[in-house]
Each structure stands twice: as C-alpha cells, then as structure tokens.
A and B are shown apart, each in its own frame.
Chain A
Amino acid sequence: MYSRNLPYLLLLPATLFLCIFFLYPFVLVAWQAFVSDTGEFTSEYFMEMATHWKFNTALTNTFMLALAVVPFQIALALYMATLVNGMKRGRDLILYVWTIPLGISDLAAGIIWLAIFEQTGFLNSMLQGLGVIEQPVGFLGYQSKGTIFLAIVLAEIWRATAIVLVILVAGMGLIPKEYYEAAEVFGASRWKQFTRITLPMLKPSLQTAMILRVILAFEVFAVVVALGGTNLPILMGEIYTWQYDLRDSSVAAAYALVVLAISIAFTLLIMWGLRTPKGARV
C-alpha cells in the first residue's frame, strides 16, 4: 500500500551523512598521507613520520597504555557487573554511581586526576599529613615518566570502565536465569557458573566492549595531555602536534593511518578471538 521507496527515503539522511563524514574522509586521509602536493604517490610522509625521534616512543607508549588499561578494565567491569547482579536492594543507585564517569570527558578526567597528582595536590597533601614525606613530590615532572604513566592508567581506568560495565550488565541481562538454576541443580559452584555460563554467554558483549575499549585506548589523548603535557608522547598527541602546531597535515594523516591500521587489526583480532558459532547465540 505504501511506496517501496519509503525505507530508503528514511535512511537517506543518515546514509548521506555516513558517506560524506565517515567513508569519504577515510579515503581523503589516505590520499593525504600517500599523495604529495604535486599529485604523485609518495611514501615521503611515512618516512618523515617513522624517522621522527618521537614516533617510536609514541607508538610504544600508546601500546603500553592500552595493555595496562584494557585488560584490567575488562576484569574490573566483569567483577562490578557480577556484584551488581548479585544485588537485591539499591541496584539502581549503585549502577548510577558506577556509571557516572560515562558522562565525563577524557579531558575532565585528566583534570580531575591532576587535582590528585599535581605537586600541591591531594596525594602529596595526604602523604605529608601521614608523615610519609616532608616535601611535596613532583609526580608529574618530566623526570618521573613512571608516575605520569601510572596516573594516566588510573585516570583511564577510573573514567572508561563505566562503558564496559554498561555493556556487560546489559549483556548479562540477556542471559536467561534458567541456565543458572539448571547449573545449580547439577551442583555447579558460583565460580563454575561464572566460567561455564556467564563468560561463554557473554561473548558477544565482551566482544563489543573490547573492540570499543581497545579503539578508545588507541585514541587516548586529552588525559595524557592534562597529566603529562608533552612529557609522554602518544600517537594522538603527535597527530595533534603535526596538524595544529607544525601545520603538516600530510604527516598527521600518515599517523592517522597508523592508528587506523592498529584499530582495524585489533577489531579483526578480537572478532576472531571471541567469535560465536552461528546458532550458538542466546
């Protein structure tokens, strides 16, 4: 009775948007990275990027951060999700509190943890009050890369565990209760129920959460700038510097392609590692 074109008409704005602001820019960024001003193919920008003294450090730092943050976040979020699910009263309140960081930007999170770690900050005040130190320590100075790294890891775990929690709680909500009752009848312990039912059934959610988190981890930017300034180079920071301060969008594009390649590689890896056979879904 209705025009067959209606669904396409409804999808048109979103599709146009995705094409112009998602697909096309990715072609454009590759173009920028590989094609010189004179219109020839060139690897010059990649060479410039790779031979820059900060490149290796930035790459290593970004990987180290992701490695330190993401696994811990997944484990913590799993633990939080099981705590929430075991709750009878106050579940909504606790869940709200735990998801508060969801609304907090990485910049704001960086500033929040700056209040704790800076030289006149709360950590120093507390340590002095406890008599551990006499003079405030410069946790975030250019010589203390270790504590900068630690502060960034804490800030990231603090800020971005909430999104994993939300995805996992939503995923756990989809697992029918009967499975646990059946497991209980067979005498499975809590831990067995977790490893034999929750984890396998949660695979699709874990997959979503991990992809999202890994990609966000490689995008880490404002937290690092807020806590470490330029003392701890990371990929997104380098992109920003090349684009904004050095006005060289070609090298910035080369960096962007590196981040993109890493993101896609990890997405595929996670999708393969946590694949669920067809027909084995809830």
Chain B
Amino acid sequence: MAEIRINQVAKQFGDTHALHSIDLTIADQEFLVLLGASGCGKTTLLRIVAGLETASAGEVWIGDRRVDHLAPKDRGIAMVFQNYAVFPHLTVFENIAFGLRMAKLPQSEVEKRVNRTASLMHIENLLKRYSGQLSGGQRQRVAVARALATEPEVLLMDEPLSNLDALLRMEMRAELKTVLAESKTTTIYVTHDQVEAMSMADRIAVMNKGHIVQAASAVDVYRNPAAHFVGSFIGNPPMNFLDAKPLGDGWWDVAGTRVKGPVGGQYPALQLGIRPEDIVVHDAPSSAHPDSLSATVRVLEPLGSHLLASCKVDNQMLRVVLDSNASAKPGDQLHWSPVPDRIRWFDPATELALP
C-alpha cells in the first residue's frame, strides 16, 4: 500500500534526452497507465521506478521512502516483463516461489502463497511444468502470479499483453483488471495500445518525446485532449484538426465558414479539433444550417458498425463517421457541422489546447 511520487525525474542517454523532468504522483492503489508510442520514454520511466535504470536527475518516492538509490530488490516492487521472463530452468511452482524464497519465508508459507496466487491466475494445474511446456498466455499468467506472490507495494507492468494474440489479449485484459482490483496494489502499467489503456486505467498518463503530455481519466483524455498530440494519438480514427483564422469578436474562419470560438486577439491563428463521431452531416445546404461546412468525399471504408469517410476540406484532411448504411460515394459533397460543445481549440504555436 503505497503512493508513488516521481519528482523531476530526467534521463539522458548521451546527448539524447529520453525523459525531460517528469513529475507524476500515483495514488495508493491507483492503476496508472503510461501510454505512448515506442520511444516516448514510457518504458524508461517504468524502469527507473523499478530501479533497473538510473535516472540522470530527480527523485522517486514509494510511500515515505526515497528509493532512487536503492537496488530493485529493496524497493518493495514486483515487475511483469513484456517477454514474461519466466525462468526456464525452474518449474512454475519454483518460479512463483522465487521471490518468497529470496525473502526466506518458511516452506509452509511459500506453499500457501504459491497455491493462492496460482489459483488466482488459474494455473494450479501447471505448477509442475517448465516454461518450455507452456503457451504464451500461460507464461503470462505465471509471470503475473510470480509478481503478485510477493505481495508487493507496487506492481510494475511493461507491455504485459503485447505478445499475446488479439482474442487472448482481450480476455487477459478483463481478468487482470479484476485480479489487480482485488490485490489493491498500486500499479504502473506501460502500453502502446490505447484500447488497453482506456479499458484498464484509473488514470492514463499520455507520453510523447519524454514528456507527460496529459495525465487524466480515460474519458477526459479522450474528450478533452490537453494537446494536439493527445487528440491525434488517442482515438481511432484520430481527432480532426482544421486551421482557423480570426475574424474578431470570437468568430473564426474555418475553411471559409464562420465558426464561434474563443474571444481574444492574442492568437494569430488557431486549430479547431473535432472527433470524427462528433460531426453532424446534413442532407443539403439549407437555411436551417447557414454555417455548415462542405467537404469532398475521397475514400469510404465500411467498417461494419459504421462507415468511415475520409474527406478533403479546403485541402485539409477530415474524417467523418457515418451511419453504416449512408449512401455517400467518393466525389460527393458532404455538408456538415461540428457538434458545438465538442469542439476543442488548439494553439498551433504551442500545440496545446486552449484552457
């Protein structure tokens, strides 16, 4: 049971900055997901918390202990690795017991805990096997059981599901979520898969180029992206961005149409952000929608639950989610307007959302 505090942690590899002064606090029992593309620094940050990597600067606190100078074994953590790292020369039982034996627990206690975590992960019948006799999913379960058996204050998971096939991943996602909620450990979970992040996290920290761009709940990250990057990284298809020029008095020119926006003359230009499903399509330009925009349909992708239309608006890309039996054809003119309260405005100079 512990809170994790990361204070101004930075990491340099030679001249490259992998992490720029990260500040992040993870509450006791919280499930935090570090989400980002490969190379964004998320794994480095996790490994710094684990003690597998040394930060160039900054502090890491677990509970009321400063741990950044401690060896991994002294930090009260457990970790699940992307390739599971199940010891091939030990049985499943001995794998799960490994941490307990290192802690010199009595044999009876070791057996009790191994059996409990094994049944929690549904691998009771595999205890005598070796890693080579297990499937990927089973190895994954062993790795989680091994981490949980030590009853760590903090559980660190590095892309634990990315080596599983899609169906198994979905199943494990739900299962892990239940198990971890019960275990009440503070968890940091690294992934590049936004669906995984959104489905499991209490809070998502979106990372880009060594910065945490936004740390908020899944809904918040999706609805109110704090930066251009978050909007374009999260959501499939991503958020649309259209250039806007000021007309004064809170009115903005977007592709030749007036749109109501933020008041204030300090921005020479803005970007309007709108999610593809937050777009209303009209049958034809009519007096009812004097401020509708027009777009030319380029490509249509029937995706089952909906029809995805990729369009051009004034030479900018716009993706629109249409009803799956919409009758659009490539070349058609689409008349549309954004749902007003779903519009987000971004400053192209800073790439940040307007407050």
- A residues apposed to B, CB below 8 Å: 1-2
- Quote the shortest CB–CB distance from A226 to chain B (angstroms): 46
- Given the complex of chains A and B, what is the CA–CA distance between A2 and B53 in angstroms? 10
- Given the complex of chains A and B, what is the CA–CA distance between A1 and B69 in angstroms? 6
- Given the complex of chains A and B, what is the CA–CA distance between A2 and B72 in angstroms? 11
Instruction: Mark out the residues of chain B between 69 and 102 whose CB falls within 8 Å of any chain A CB in the assembled complex.
Output: 69-72
**B54: chain A residues within 8 A (beta carbon):** 1
- Given the complex of chains A and B, what is the CA–CA distance between A1 and B51 in angstroms? 7
A-B contact pairs, 8 of them (CB 8 A): A1-B51, A1-B52, A1-B54, A1-B69, A1-B70, A1-B71, A1-B72, A2-B71
Q: What is the total of A-B residue contacts with beta carbons within 8 Å?
A: 8
**B70: chain A residues within 8 A (beta carbon):** 1
- Quote the shortest CB–CB distance from B260 to chain A (angstroms): 55
- Given the complex of chains A and B, what is the CA–CA distance between A196 and B128 in angstroms? 51
- Given the complex of chains A and B, what is the CA–CA distance between A11 and B51 in angstroms? 24
**A2: chain B residues within 8 A (beta carbon):** 71
**B69: chain A residues within 8 A (beta carbon):** 1
- Given the complex of chains A and B, what is the CA–CA distance between A2 and B52 in angstroms? 10
- Quote the shortest CB–CB distance from B59 to chain A (angstroms): 15
- Given the complex of chains A and B, what is the CA–CA distance between A278 and B171 in angstroms? 46
- Given the complex of chains A and B, what is the CA–CA distance between A1 and B73 in angstroms? 11
- B residues apposed to A, CB below 8 Å: 51-52, 54, 69-72
Query: Given A1-B71, A2-B71, list of 4 further CB < 8 A pairs?
Result: A1-B54, A1-B69, A1-B70, A1-B72
- Given the complex of chains A and B, what is the CA–CA distance between A1 and B77 in angstroms? 15
**B51: chain A residues within 8 A (beta carbon):** 1
**A1: chain B residues within 8 A (beta carbon):** 51-52, 54, 69-72
- Quote the shortest CB–CB distance from A6 to chain B (angstroms): 13
- Given the complex of chains A and B, what is the CA–CA distance between A1 and B70 in angstroms? 7
- Given the complex of chains A and B, what is the CA–CA distance between A1 and B53 in angstroms? 7
Q: Sorted from nearest, which 5 A-B pairs have the closest CB atoms?
A: A1-B71, A1-B51, A1-B54, A1-B72, A1-B70
- Given the complex of chains A and B, what is the CA–CA distance between A83 and B319 in angstroms? 58
B53 to A, closest residue via Cβ = A1
- Given the complex of chains A and B, what is the CA–CA distance between A1 and B75 in angstroms? 12
**B72: chain A residues within 8 A (beta carbon):** 1
**B71: chain A residues within 8 A (beta carbon):** 1-2
- Given the complex of chains A and B, what is the CA–CA distance between A2 and B54 in angstroms? 9
A2 to B, closest residue via Cβ = B71
- Given the complex of chains A and B, what is the CA–CA distance between A2 and B70 in angstroms? 10
- Given the complex of chains A and B, what is the CA–CA distance between A96 and B258 in angstroms? 81
- Quote the shortest CB–CB distance from A7 to chain B (angstroms): 15
- Quote the shortest CB–CB distance from A4 to chain B (angstroms): 10
- Quote the shortest CB–CB distance from B66 to chain A (angstroms): 14
- Given the complex of chains A and B, what is the CA–CA distance between A1 and B72 in angstroms? 8
- Given the complex of chains A and B, what is the CA–CA distance between A23 and B138 in angstroms? 53
- Quote the shortest CB–CB distance from B192 to chain A (angstroms): 26
- Quote the shortest CB–CB distance from B41 to chain A (angstroms): 19
- Given the complex of chains A and B, what is the CA–CA distance between A282 and B305 in angstroms? 45
**B52: chain A residues within 8 A (beta carbon):** 1
B70 to A, closest residue via Cβ = A1
B51 to A, closest residue via Cβ = A1
- Quote the shortest CB–CB distance from B352 to chain A (angstroms): 36
- Given the complex of chains A and B, what is the CA–CA distance between A275 and B109 in angstroms? 62
- Quote the shortest CB–CB distance from B50 to chain A (angstroms): 10
- Quote the shortest CB–CB distance from B312 to chain A (angstroms): 38
- Given the complex of chains A and B, what is the CA–CA distance between A2 and B73 in angstroms? 13
A4 to B, closest residue via Cβ = B54
- Given the complex of chains A and B, what is the CA–CA distance between A1 and B52 in angstroms? 7
- Given the complex of chains A and B, what is the CA–CA distance between A2 and B71 in angstroms? 8
- Given the complex of chains A and B, what is the CA–CA distance between A255 and B313 in angstroms? 83
- Quote the shortest CB–CB distance from A72 to chain B (angstroms): 44
B54 to A, closest residue via Cβ = A1
B50 to A, closest residue via Cβ = A1
B75 to A, closest residue via Cβ = A1
- Quote the shortest CB–CB distance from A94 to chain B (angstroms): 28
- Given the complex of chains A and B, what is the CA–CA distance between A1 and B50 in angstroms? 11
- Given the complex of chains A and B, what is the CA–CA distance between A261 and B164 in angstroms? 57
- Quote the shortest CB–CB distance from B156 to chain A (angstroms): 15
- Quote the shortest CB–CB distance from A8 to chain B (angstroms): 17
- Given the complex of chains A and B, what is the CA–CA distance between A2 and B69 in angstroms? 10
- Given the complex of chains A and B, what is the CA–CA distance between A45 and B163 in angstroms? 68
- Given the complex of chains A and B, what is the CA–CA distance between A101 and B70 in angstroms? 53
- Given the complex of chains A and B, what is the CA–CA distance between A253 and B54 in angstroms? 52
- Quote the shortest CB–CB distance from B351 to chain A (angstroms): 35
- Quote the shortest CB–CB distance from B280 to chain A (angstroms): 50
- Quote the shortest CB–CB distance from A202 to chain B (angstroms): 32
